[in-house]
Structure 1
């Protein structure tokens, strides 16, 4: 039986323990810098801040992780948008706006953070303080009740695993996360989005696990963010993910 070490995460740990195939894998959870990674066949950080602690596993062939530079790039939503624009992927980036946009609605975002924390939909004048906080930026809101998630594992220059989901937010301008919860979630074939996201990872030279969040606007991909980590909706297919990851090591 192969041993899998996951980082700590209060909601993902019990779900992983429930869904992983215990006949094939022994799952453990720990602070990654407090254990000997050589005792495990695969090490999977569940949070961005756990990635550095997992790096000793890379040298032992127990993990594939994105570089520190790519973790920092993806973790900074504004920097990622600018990087995409500069490298010819501007068509997937909803328009970046100035400090006092004249059109509504738009979304005010924190450059770093997940679960929608620090993001706020601005519907009209007076809802935004107009500050020039360097940790905040503004971007055109992409309408549509459906938000998509595409989980990808890229190793050795190729996509080794992927799975997509569609979230029905029940409203056209929801901010999925802490404030707005989806009415439903269902598996979905990512279609052309798979190739578009794979092209972005190719341009980055990205290796490891990531999660693309996006919407479709008249059929065109509009990227919301890229998380350089294991995403929460992977827990239901964690056995398939672990199997693909082990096979690619």
Structure 2
């Protein structure tokens, strides 16, 4: 029996308990900065703010630079453009766009918090705060997530899912929930996202959210953490992570 310590998370903990192979893994949850991490075979942070504390335990997590870059949606978009991946980035807009629809985002936040779809003139309150930016909306009811674990120079684990949002301009998160979630073939998203992680020399777990536009990949964000839809295959993820150590 291998002991796995996860960071606390209000929604993911229940799913992990329900999904994990408890014949092989003993799951615990705790604030990672308040526990002796040496007692566990693997430490898995579930939130970005838990990553720094997790480094004291047995795990592979992204460094501070990678976390800061990916956690800042605007900075990550700009990095993609500078690094030669600009064709995957929906067009960044100025503070007074005249083309609709577009999405207004805060630079940090998850589960759709800080994101608002602007469909018509007058829908935007014109907030010019430096933590807010605007970006062309990618229409389509299907949104995808690709979970990746990179350790060394190798992808050790990956799995993709399709979210049917039931509407072309949904903002997945607390307000707009998917009608269904099904496994997906990532296709060219896998080599492209792998190349992005190679360019970053990213280590650890992340998840890319993306859409397809006439078949072309459009990356919405990259979260430098364990993603929610990974809970259903958590044992396979743990197998891969432990094997790489």
Q: TM-score, normalised by structure 2?
A: 0.99
| Secondary structure, aligned partner of 1:101 | coil
Aligned-pair CA distance for 1:131: 2.4
Deviation sequence 1:99-125 (CA, Å, 0-9, x none): 000110000001000000010000111
Aligned to 2:33: 33
Note if 1:157 corresponds to 2:153: yes
Q: In structure 2, how many angstroms separate the alpha carbons of the residues matched to 1:154 and 1:14?
A: 26
Number of matched residues?
245
Note if 1:186 corresponds to 2:182: yes
Aligned to 2:213: 217
Note if 1:103 corresponds to 2:99: yes
Q: In structure 1, how many angstroms separate the alpha carbons of the residues matched to 2:215 and 2:151?
A: 29
Aligned to 1:55: 55
Q: In structure 2, how many angstroms separate the alpha carbons of the residues matched to 1:153 and 1:64?
A: 9
Aligned-pair CA distance for 1:69: 0.9
Aligned-pair CA distance for 1:48: 0.3
Note if 1:141 corresponds to 2:137: yes
Note if 1:167 corresponds to 2:163: yes
Aligned to 2:204: 208
| Secondary structure, aligned partner of 1:197 | helix
| Secondary structure, aligned partner of 1:242 | helix
- From 96, 99, 110, the equivalent of 1:114 is 110
Note if 1:90 corresponds to 2:86: yes
Deviation sequence 1:133-185 (CA, Å, 0-9, x none): 10100000000000000000000111000000000000000000011000000
| Secondary structure, aligned partner of 1:117 | coil
Q: TM-score, normalised by structure 1?
A: 0.98
- From 217, 231, 238, the equivalent of 1:235 is 231
- From 54, 60, 63, the equivalent of 1:64 is 60
| Secondary structure, aligned partner of 2:59 | coil
Give 5+ residue unaligned stretches, structure 2. Answer: none
Q: In structure 1, how many angstroms separate the alpha carbons of the residues matched to 2:127 and 2:5?
A: 43
- From 106, 120, 125, the equivalent of 1:124 is 120
Aligned-pair CA distance for 1:11: 1.0
4+ runs of 1 displaced by more than 6 Å? none
Give 5+ residue unaligned stretches, structure 1. Answer: none
Aligned-pair CA distance for 1:18: 1.0
